[in-house]
Amino acid sequence: MRRLKHRVAWVGVFSLGVLAGIFLCARLDVFSKAGAVISSKGSVDEAQLSANTFSIENAVINVAENVGPAVVSITVEHAEKTLSGYRRFQFGAPSDNDLFGRFFDDFFGEMPQREFKQPPALGSGVIIDEKGYILTNEHVIADADKIMVVLPDGREFKGEVKGKDARADLAVIKIDANNLPVAKLGDSDNIKIGQWVIAIGNPFGFAMYSSEPTVTVGVVSAINRSLGRGLSRGKDFNDLIQTDAAINPGNSGGPLVNLRGEVVGINVAIFSTSGGYQGIGFAIPSNSAKRILDRLIEGKKILYGWLGVSVQDLDEELAEYFGLLDKTGVLVNEAIKDGPADNAGIKSGDIILTFDGKKIVSLRKLLKVVGDADVGKKVKLNILRDKKEKIITVKIGERPDDAKDISLTKRKKTEESWRGLSVKNIDSELQEQLGLESNEGVIVVDVEPDSFADDAGLLAGDVIEAINKDKITDVDDFQRTIKRVKAVALIRTKRGYLVIKAK
């Protein structure tokens, strides 16, 4: 009996152990499942990460295989005329060369000229039509005496310029070939910051000893970038795509492509302190090219809309003076006489709020929409005048080749006040020195340090044309007007408007 009880006890212990083991295993399974859930929600799944990496890799490979054959090398030759007895080297400013030339002319008489070939310039291009039309930068083929195009398969053709536009820095050349691989122009308005892009071109040209293009990968670092007047050199570089995809000399004119194989930009420039790649490259949006592509192919002049105004962005003080809640809009400094804006009745001091239904948030936005507007089109502008909104219809003119830049130099941002300001009349000598059309206004001859005028950003040499919309023709006008100023004053100078406060 005792033995039976002992056996029953052992069976019970064994059963409890089995049950405990099953329970423990179940608990461990639950924890592992919970851990898996936490991992999937709180961190990147390794398998998914690997799949995404593989997907991007495949996309880049596909772009290289499908778009690469449509990217060409462009070699340009220039001939320079110089005197046969010596070569004009650039030692310094052009005047130095002229002096050097006059020395030879005076002592040896005029010498015959001959042509010297400069080292070939190298660039890239992208085939946009199977009949041999190639899109590139205007600066790649500018002033070319001979253009040679080399396809990735090694075939070489002579290129002919069909159309070019220096302002847009775009050109179309043609080669005598058919059934060529073509790259598709995509919609650059849809690109996003952080989006993967691929730059294809021929950096350093034939130094690589290959006609096949190079592929580099990066992201869109920024959009709507402007290079500024100093770097733009007369070109319209106010709406560029910035990328960290490696772009080097020779890449100019090549395509910037998205992972779908669509050309979203034409590589145009790099920003570098050394002349090499430093992670900052720029491309012209493809939509800018599409807008003028047909006219380039047809060899027609590219027309740009022109409003005929000089304008400036608003700062907080100007926005407050005009009763605006924010800095939206641009302030008209001057409507050029007999220009489209002047003929429509736009005046100095007006604030342009909308153009053809598009909200104007900055000077750069106005530059773009005016430039893109069809010449001769009648456009409605919503302006603010004397704190009241008004609709004005303007007939868009054609931008003259010698049109002044619509933008004004932005003044230093400071806390603004009044006083500390000395002025004098503009005599004929000053008028000539400053290149002024008339002697109306007063010139600032002194600004006391740390004064209200200094705080306002006024500078010696500024020409004051109006105060609170009262025209200033001479010192007498200036003195009479400032006596009436109690607190806030709106000052118009040749550089633009500024607001001076009394406190």
**Separation CA 315–CA 413 (nearest Å):** 8
Active-site annotation holder among 73, 124, 165, 169: 169
Q: Is 133 helix (H, G, I), strand (E, B) or coil?
A: strand
Longest dimension (CA), the chain: 142
* Closest CA relative to residue 305, chosen from 296, 314, 292: 292
Q: 309 has which bridge partners?
A: 335
Q: 274, 298, 276, 302: which is closest to 288 by C-alpha?
A: 302
169 noted as active-site residue: yes
265 close to 188: Cβ distance less than 8 angstroms = yes
Residue 434 contacts residue 463 (beta carbons within 8 Å) = yes
Q: Is 78 a catalytic residue?
A: no
Three-state DSSP state, 484: helix
Active site residue 252: yes
DSSP string, 36-59: HHHHHHHS--HHHHHHHHHHHHHH
According to DSSP, the β-strands at 184-185 and 262-270 are: parallel
> 252, 276, 215: which is closest to 121 by C-alpha?
252
For residues 453 and 418, the answer to whether their CB atoms sit within 8 Å is yes
Enter the DSSP assignment of 35. H
CA distance 171 to 293: 9
d(CA 259, CA 238): 25
First-last CA distance in the chain: 111
Q: Which residues on adjacent β-strands are paired with residue 334?
A: 310
- The helix/strand/coil state of 337 is coil
Selecting among 252, 286, 288, 310, the annotated active-site residue is 252
3-class secondary structure, 129: strand
Instruction: Write out the H or E segment, with its range, that includes residue 174.
Output: strand 170-174
**Dihedral of CA 315/321/324/329: which sign?**
negative
Residues with catalytic function: 139, 169, 252
